[in-house]
Amino acid sequence: MRIKALFISFHLGLLLSSCAVLSFAQETELIQLPPPNMTGGKPLMEAMKDRHSSREFSTEKLPLQVMSDLLWAAFGINRPDVGKRTAPSAVNWQEIDIYVATADGLFLYDAHEHALQVILSDDIRAKTGPQDFVKEAPVNLVFVADYAKMGDRADEDKRFYSAADVGFIGQNVYLFCASEGLATVIRGRVDRDDLAQTMNLRPEQHIVFAQTVGYPKK
């Protein structure tokens, strides 16, 4: 366990430019995120006015608080009493998992714990898409549908509903970024087979889209 603790500390040292207080769950390799800011930001109509896709990113890392706010806005739990989320999902399947690819590794957002689970210690950003900016932007979100959570529907239905569900999450990310002055673009251009292999996904897990996030290039 000591090795794991050191391993996580190493990740955090690289991942986080924030001085936020962190806590660790060694057994499950969870990095606790600070509570999200659920107030403030731009008025909704201003954020909508500013929403746009951008493909020019600074290499500056996101502070931990910004990562926390981003992931909560994307698909965090906004009604803890019923475990429901900031984006809708068909049949309330909540089948979309958000993986976070950074220079310091690959992480899985655990909405219930509001934490990041360490998946890989490698920098796989370049594998998340063929476009040039992808490998240098600090964060690439990878939206993965877990068909195992979608009952016994045909795969065609699962593909249809999971794509719609990612659309809502992606728009949440767009609006959060517009509010925070961050740059973002959702991306369909992903080599899904290659990336799924790199991420060690199960056969029931299907990559839907990726979304790059970072500060705008100065």
Q: How many residues of this chain interact with ligand FMN, rule: CB under 6 A?
A: 9
- Please, what is the minimum distance in Å from the beta carbon of residue 108 to ligand FMN? 22
Kindly list the strands in the beta sheet with 30-32, ordered across the sheet, starting from the edge strand earlier in the chain. 24-25, 30-32, 115-120, 105-110, 96-102, 139-146, 205-214, 183-187
Nearer to ligand FMN, 68 or 89 (CB): 89
Nearer to ligand FMN, 158 or 187 (CB): 187
Give strand pairing partners of 187: 210
Cα first-last separation, the chain = 42
Binding marks (x or -) toward ligand FMN, 7..46, rule CB under 6 A? Answer: ----------------------------------------
Nearer to ligand FMN, 35 or 181 (CB): 181
Residue 188 is a binding residue for ligand FMN (CB under 6 A): yes
- Please, what is the minimum distance in Å from the beta carbon of residue 170 to ligand FMN? 7
Nearer to ligand FMN, 52 or 202 (CB): 52
State the pairing for strand pair 115-120/77-79: unpaired
* Nearby residues of 129 by Cβ (< 8 Å), 6 or more positions away: 140, 187, 189, 190, 191, 210, 212
| Three-class DSSP category at 2 | helix
Tokens of 138: 């600090």
- Please, what is the minimum distance in Å from the beta carbon of residue 23 to ligand FMN? 36
* Nearby residues of 63 by Cβ (< 8 Å), 6 or more positions away: 16, 17, 18, 20
Nearer to ligand FMN, 84 or 159 (CB): 159
Question: Which residue in 189, 197, 202, 204 binds ligand FMN (CB under 6 A)?
Answer: 189
- Please, what is the minimum distance in Å from the beta carbon of residue 150 to ligand FMN? 20
Indicate the Cα dihedral angle 7, 13, 19, 20, nearest 10°.
Answer: -30
* Nearby residues of 159 by Cβ (< 8 Å), 6 or more positions away: 145, 206
Residue 187 is a binding residue for ligand FMN (CB under 6 A): yes
Binding marks (x or -) toward ligand FMN, 119..138, rule CB under 6 A? Answer: ------------x-------
Question: Which residue in 26, 28, 53, 92 binds ligand FMN (CB under 6 A)?
Answer: 53
Tokens of 193: 């087979």
Please give the residue ranges that form the binding site for ligand FMN (CB under 6 A).
Answer: 52-53, 55, 131, 185-189
